[in-house]
Amino acid sequence: MELTLTPEETAFQHEVRDFIEEKYPSDIRDKIELGQRLDKDDYVRWQKILNDRGWIAPGWPAELGGTGWTPMQKHLFEEELAEADTPRIMPFGLVMVAPVIMAFGNDEQKQKYLPRILSSQDWWCQGYSEPGSGSDLASLQTKAVRDGDHYIVNGQKTWTTLAQYADMMFTLVRTSSEGKPQQGISFLLIDMNSPGVSVDPIVTIDGGREVNSVFLEDVRVPVENRIGEENKGWTYAKFLLGHERTSIAATGRSKKLLKRLKEIASEEIGDDGAPLDQDTGFMSRVADVEIRLLALESVVLRVLYAEQAGAAPGPDASLLKIEGTLIQQDLTELAREAVGNYAFPFIPEAFDPLWNEDRVGPDYAAPLAPVYFNWRKASIYGGSNEVQRGIISKHVLGL
């Protein structure tokens, strides 16, 4: 069912909408509308604008810089950002490592890192996956050997999103080989400017440099940069992944894409010469995705209210991750299908700011291909959907 808002919630929605209309930089808006790639400055500028308004960390406790919003207000805020096509708020600091620092870090770590995350002074990346250790994260091999007040870290991390911009990386390292693999993992915060850290790009199928390999060669990391106890990092990692998987659902972005899909269907012509929104077969598939999206939205709100009551993310986060990413992929598939041949000519260079050649087809056709390609990975990152189904079968179904 559609959400029914109270007068107070409607007023809040309009407040957010008016703020975005006034403060959203036009040059960043134009780049997104044209499908051009954003750089670090674009993301940081927008995050600083939100932080100046006190809106950068809706999920944080108010005493640490959060908003004090209700779950519905958080949800409406995300929807308005998505509707306006603002840059994505980078989750690695605000949504992922910050809750870990709040829950398991010491006072010095909280005082040092949390304000820098709020102000975007530090850009964070996630050092979890390794070559051969992605879905089977417990098999990671990056080692950290204690040397007095430091760890000496050696290994490689991969698929590290936007590591080329990062000042800090939260990472899992092996500090013991005794017992079960999960028992020998620790959670370290690594300065990306440390000697021995190098970043190599991995160019994705959409032509972008979103992910990287990070090499760690004799990197000295102060012991004070360890979160919690040594060899207890698996506990902190699972806590973090619950927050990541909840955010991956991204219902606001999907609702925006659904709206655009319907607009395209009203313009594109089908095989019979009529607009696609007159094609009952095509529109029944659109309706199926829309129904699933509404159901997902209700579960997202339920999880948000549970978290406000103090519950940690549980198996529900796996459900959100699975269904959210499948909906994203289905929507991009339908949009690509609706545009037809105009979605096929894919020239990665066309999304660079200096590109001045004519595009093929309508303006909305060109960005569809890179979005379609990019969202193929959505069912893999954050723990593959196959792994999430295993979590649900174990913790919900008891299998």
Is 244 a known active-site residue?
Answer: yes
CB 245 within 8 A of CB 321: yes
CB 66 within 8 A of CB 58: yes
The alpha carbon of residue 185 and the mean position of all alpha carbons in its chain are separated, in whole angstroms, by 24
Q: How many CB atoms lie within 10 A of CB 320?
A: 25
CB 305 within 8 A of CB 71: yes
Question: Cα dist. 252→45, 59, 184, 247, 257 in Å?
Answer: 21, 16, 38, 11, 9
CB 233 within 8 A of CB 97: no
CB 338 within 8 A of CB 282: yes
User: Alpha-carbon torsion 202, 134, 116, 318, what sign?
Assistant: positive
168-174/124-127 β-pairing: parallel
Count Cβ neighbours within 10 Å for each residue of 143-153 and write b for 16 or more, e otherwise: bbeeeeebbbb
Given the residues 130, 244, 268, 307, the one annotated as active site: 244
Measure the CA–CA gap between 98 and 101, rounded to whole angstroms.
5
User: Alpha-carbon torsion 45, 51, 55, 59, what sign?
Assistant: positive
The alpha carbon of residue 323 and the mean position of all alpha carbons in its chain are separated, in whole angstroms, by 15
Measure the CA–CA gap between 284 and 340, rounded to whole angstroms.
18
- The DSSP bridge partners found for residue 185 are 174
Q: How many CB atoms lie within 10 A of CB 312?
A: 13
3-state secondary structure of 372: helix
Task: Give the list of residues 6+ apart from residue 398 with CB closer than 8 angstroms, or none.
Answer: none
**Residue whose structure tokens are 């996630």:** 126
CB 175 within 8 A of CB 125: no
CB 137 within 8 A of CB 172: yes
Q: State the catalytic residues.
A: 244
